[in-house]
Amino acid sequence: MSENVMIVGAGAMGSGIAQVCAQAGCQVTLCDVEQASLDKALAGMQKSLTKLHSKGRIEESAEVVSGRVTTKLANQGSLPEAPDATLAIEAVFEDVELKRNVLAKLEAAVSETCLIATNTSGIPIGKLAAALSRPDRFVGMHFFNPAVLMRMVEVVRGSATSDETFSKALEVVIALGKDPLPVKLDLPGFVLNRIAMVASNEAIRLVEMGAVEAADLDRGVKGAFGWKLGPLETADLVGLDVLLSARGQIYEHTKDERFKPPDLIKKKVAAGELGRKTGKGFYEYK
């Protein structure tokens, strides 16, 4: 695949998507406002690629694949210009105003023919498209965490997304070696997250009620339903702050009690217990 890809946001999702694109043969520019985030993304990518290569899951060496990734430090006022980019993906924190701000800068940094996508996990595409002068070339491209391992990518059509943009986004996802799920209606939370959030919220409420211990609940779900990770293990992996923000966004849009964040998530986030990244969430990590 010969796409030139620009990704803004070097967190877990942005760095994972960058690796996916590099493994597919793309030249990738990864941008962030913090050098520490870029350094961490490159180190994590190198570790992941080395592991995949040693297991025979990728043919090219870690050095060859990571050599396709260039990092650039962005500032608060603008993004580095990327006139050759054919695909630009916003992958910053799940906050409407932050994403709108980044998307406006991203549109100014790329050419008029560049496909622009957001990796939001739940914010309606139309709400973010308001920041763009050309919303017809804007689409949702929701990768799941960890992006390198998860095959599904939701491709979400906004009300202004053109047929050409939607088709191109589906083709790009396939070229990246992923399985696209076309989402034709711009619902908060899209399709898969709406299903997962209801199950996850119920799991958290059951623990909150004292009906079951977290480890027993996860063990039961994996044993009965064949999930690779239980809902609480998944919550810790994604980050409880990310879950709280995403569910808060969806609940505000829908007022559907099924999506209302449980009080236990709010308490853990307030206490700084965000999951794996802080060493403690529903479980403790070394």
What is the distance between the alpha carbons of residues 37 and 132, in angstroms, rounded to a whole number?
Answer: 26
Q: Pick from 152, 146, 100, 107: which is nearest to 123 by CA?
A: 100
Overall residue count recorded for the chain in this entry:
286
Spatial neighbors of 190 by CB under 8 A, at least 6 apart, are 121, 122, 140, 142, 154, 156, 183
Report whether 89 contacts 120 (CB < 8 A): no
CB–CB of 120/138 below 8 Å?
A: no
Burial of residue 218, with CB atoms counted within 10 A of its CB: 0-12 exposed, 13-18 middle, 19 or more buried: buried
Q: List, by residue number, the catalytic residues.
A: 121, 142, 154, 193
Helices and strands of the chain, counted as H and E runs: 11, 8
Three-class DSSP labels, 207-223: HHHCCCCHHHHHHHHHH
Residue type, 90: E
